[in-house]
Structure 1
């Protein structure tokens, strides 16, 4: 039985009969809603929301970041877009070791990979948009020029990273006006970024082969990063193709392929399928199985997987899944891989009146990414290469030229046995993403939770995950204390090292939209852990 008290102080699910959007900031949701209300489709809404996110959630994403999406067309076709880039052509492991680095640096020019967000958006626009980018990005450009109120979230991000921001003239100018952390409500104005968005709306390719590309590469090479410029041009075309798919409780779950960890959600779902629907949701048994499945997925990822290998496919085979299930049933836990608790990402979801659905996610990797801006552009560059590439000799994820580092971003949607859209969801949260997405899926499919209940439920996270910079952390199971003392004690008795968190302190900002075919409407939920809003009519 679903315990509704877990969801307090969550909001009731939002229902709409035609179209629905959800994002982690009200202004982002509003932009997407207005596109749909004006006759645009879900891809149009996603493109508009992506640009607004760069202003409303600037610590979490930007032009200099990465992006991924999974989309379903009204005819049932499911497709994906992957926007992530290579590290520098001169980024052989020896380059970093010669400079005394035990790992690729986490900040600064040496941490940057070629951004893929613009390539992803361009591919989405070419595939299914109905309106020009100039029109879709006009609200974001106007907001950049007039100023965007600093939210409590952005103020905290700035305060926590003030030293990083002060070190770069571009970030200092944007986020520390007058040299101080802005108060909540203070307008943050981005005139340089507004000019850049106008350029990109007219010619997105300029980011990879034009003036913007040349300026970005020059900035990085002056700072010592071994970019040639050729790797920048090689990332102009995003990765596109079909989704990865797997089953869970009669649903087909569609995920983004590598370099994302989408297969890890499918692996966890396969391990847990049939094990959870007959036990109390978020009871000791359910949490144990979900946590143990996540631990197996991270151990497998670290031991066997790189972005350009197919080892993950074997992990979804029936014999591998059966082996993992047997290990969990026998009380054996996979060994941890590594931990990186920092990181910031944001997501959007949209469904239009034709039934087209898009789950979209984008990130700078860590909050404010590398901390490096391209002068005069307002573009903050990511630190994905530092976060995602290893310096472990011979590892399939070892730093190499033209090898995309492993990613934390992923996006999912689910269809029913009649191939109808059922759910579209997402969450930011680093290595928590594949875990929380699986938890939300279980709440929906195993226990009949509505979208708001599913995203508001108590959350738990296995640490460490598999980020590059801390691969020997002690294992923990971090649990929001709303799970209850009895459940936490039971998990400890099963061998988990339990760390209690505050009732809403696990992180993330989960979003889910659901198609209710019996009632003929859409329902949506937005995580109360951030400022998410669902809008529709």
Structure 2
């Protein structure tokens, strides 16, 4: 019997949950999810489908990710959950002093300074090598086709493309950004909704990655082009930095929440923030979802978890406290006691938006994948390597310029990372992959989706459709315009600084696939806040 099938909810449903038996792909772009399904039907497994979908997303949703992105994955296969950290390190030659010598007091959002080694291609290669059934060349075929032949721009994609173009046109005036405009605004403007866009350079790069199993990106022709463009423009990234990169298999971390194990990638990712919040929240009883007490305790737990996350999380071997210490029952009890009946003032950084894609895949062999891939802040650094279509991420922006901070900038280091895939199990059985993309909204989205599922029994689509909240800083909390106004008022009365937000995309974009342990049937939910879709058979 499917564990989460409640269809009732006190807010509009945009669509019903999707059910299928043989395979399922859920993501933010219809063309990408169909590419994943195409691979499943060709005989590929869920891992092959995830790679195909991820590569396709670099083409059909470049506002959120690219070949120059980082990636993380949780893979259920052969009765075990595997974690993959494919986040790149800072260039070895960078330092706080060298950044200051360039005239910066903080790490800029654009240009070469915040660029770190892109890890996404290494994730595709590693997943294919370890668990794929088809060749990387076969799996990347749909992405290459869309890049070379083009595709029509979808509504939400067009909206964010235009927004990014307007911002870049006003602010990125240096010649180093010219290639971004040539690639993503070839007619002197962003492509319109319904208009065709293609990137032959992007296609050639994907073809090169496919034919060399990623070698060209880290050791060959593409690596040389990236390093040369960096050197020409005073960047820190070198061919050595690229050559020394390797995606790393890691042991996922978890907490048990009311009989279910909730899994995340360990630091440098911020998944530990979601787990710590859930660890606190499991000490309370929640009788109903739409209640001020429920929302208040969720918000307070997230505040405390972020305060710890932004103080302690970085590359794990640089942390003062390990994951087990932060997620211990004793520490959860100590932090839980700080949650009172009124809104607190936490010590934490200031969350802000991001650009990320999340996807989930499943097949009838029992394989399931939770995969996330992202530049940062939309198109990333604004740097596009000439002749390649590679838009480079700006993950280095999250480093601290305080030399005493645990996440202080230094060469060859992984920064605090916002992107996090999630996975749910019960006993020895997989329930399935889930994720909510969107910068510092991600742990908050994970907490809300997990509680919607476990505490309130909502099916995947209902769990995603539910109105969301987002803690921003201090006591400021933003809520969607669909959020119940009487609850917003009650939260304000106990000290929360409530702001109603009209833009739905600022609350993250999620995907879910659950599997019925008795029948093997999948039930999926996709994000109504974007161009999300599920392809299944």
Give me the TM-score of the superposition, normalised by structure 1.
Answer: 0.93
Q: Secondary structure at the match of 1:348?
A: strand
Measured against aligned partners, the alpha-carbon deviations of 1:206-259 in whole angstroms (never above 9, x if no partner) come to 111212112111111221122343222121x10112211210110111211121
Which residue number corresponds to residue 521 of structure 1? 521
Distance in 2 between residues matched to 1:138 and 1:332, nearest whole Å: 52
Using the TM superposition, name which of 155-164 and 116-125 deviates more: 155-164
Query: What are the within-5 Å matches in structure 2 for residues 251-290 of structure 1?
Result: 251-276=260-285, 278-290=286-298
Confirm or deny: 8 A CA contact 2:87 2:247 kept in the other structure: yes
Which residue number corresponds to residue 208 of structure 2? 199
Confirm or deny: 8 A CA contact 1:480 1:505 kept in the other structure: no
Which residue number corresponds to residue 415 of structure 1? 425
Distance in 2 between residues matched to 1:247 and 1:213, nearest whole Å: 43
Query: What are the within-5 Å matches in structure 2 for residues 358-437 of structure 1?
Result: 358-386=369-397, 388-417=398-427, 419-437=428-446
Distance in 1 between residues matched to 2:510 and 2:27, nearest whole Å: 9
Which residue number corresponds to residue 43 of structure 2? 39
Asked if 1:118 is matched to 2:121, the reply is yes
1:59 to 33, 52, 63: 63
Query: What are the within-5 Å matches in structure 2 for residues 301-316 of structure 1?
Result: 301-308=309-316, 309-310=318-319, 311-313=321-323, 314-316=325-327
Distance in 2 between residues matched to 1:194 and 1:2, nearest whole Å: 44
Which residue number corresponds to residue 353 of structure 1? 364
Measured against aligned partners, the alpha-carbon deviations of 1:490-517 in whole angstroms (never above 9, x if no partner) come to 2112221111123845431111111123
Distance in 2 between residues matched to 1:503 and 1:395, nearest whole Å: 34
Distance in 1 between residues matched to 2:31 and 2:335, nearest whole Å: 43
* Residue 290 of structure 1, CA deviation: 1.1
* Residue 342 of structure 1, CA deviation: 2.9
Distance in 2 between residues matched to 1:316 and 1:100, nearest whole Å: 40
* Residue 434 of structure 1, CA deviation: 0.8
2:250 to 235, 241, 256: 241
Measured against aligned partners, the alpha-carbon deviations of 1:76-104 in whole angstroms (never above 9, x if no partner) come to 21111111111122211111122331211
**Residues 6, 144 of structure 1: alpha-carbon distance in 2 compared, 3 angstrom cutoff:** farther
Which residue number corresponds to residue 18 of structure 1? 22
Q: Secondary structure at the match of 2:187?
A: helix
* Residue 423 of structure 1, CA deviation: 2.7
Asked if 1:27 is matched to 2:31, the reply is yes
| Two-structure CA RMSD over aligned residues (Å) | 1.9
Task: Structure 1 unaligned segments of length 5 or more: list them.
Answer: 465-473
Q: Secondary structure at the match of 1:350?
A: strand
Query: What are the within-5 Å matches in structure 2 for residues 471-510 of structure 1?
Result: 474-502=474-502, 504=504, 506-510=506-510
Using the TM superposition, name which of 157-166 and 509-518 deviates more: 157-166
* Residue 293 of structure 1, CA deviation: 1.0
1:87 to 64, 85, 90: 90
Distance in 1 between residues matched to 2:424 and 2:120, nearest whole Å: 24
* Residue 123 of structure 1, CA deviation: 1.1
Measured against aligned partners, the alpha-carbon deviations of 1:44-67 in whole angstroms (never above 9, x if no partner) come to 000100111011101111110101
Distance in 2 between residues matched to 1:481 and 1:154, nearest whole Å: 21
Distance in 2 between residues matched to 1:288 and 1:3, nearest whole Å: 25
Which residue number corresponds to residue 469 of structure 1? none
**Residues 101, 460 of structure 1: alpha-carbon distance in 2 compared, 3 angstrom cutoff:** same
Confirm or deny: 8 A CA contact 1:460 1:506 kept in the other structure: no
* Residue 8 of structure 1, CA deviation: 1.7
* Residue 2 of structure 1, CA deviation: 7.2
Query: What are the within-5 Å matches in structure 2 for residues 329-348 of structure 1?
Result: 329=340, 331=342, 333=344, 335-348=346-359
Instruction: Number of aligned residue pairs: give it.
Output: 523
* Residue 363 of structure 1, CA deviation: 0.5
Confirm or deny: 8 A CA contact 1:296 1:334 kept in the other structure: no
Give me the TM-score of the superposition, normalised by structure 2.
Answer: 0.93
**Residues 215, 250 of structure 1: alpha-carbon distance in 2 compared, 3 angstrom cutoff:** same
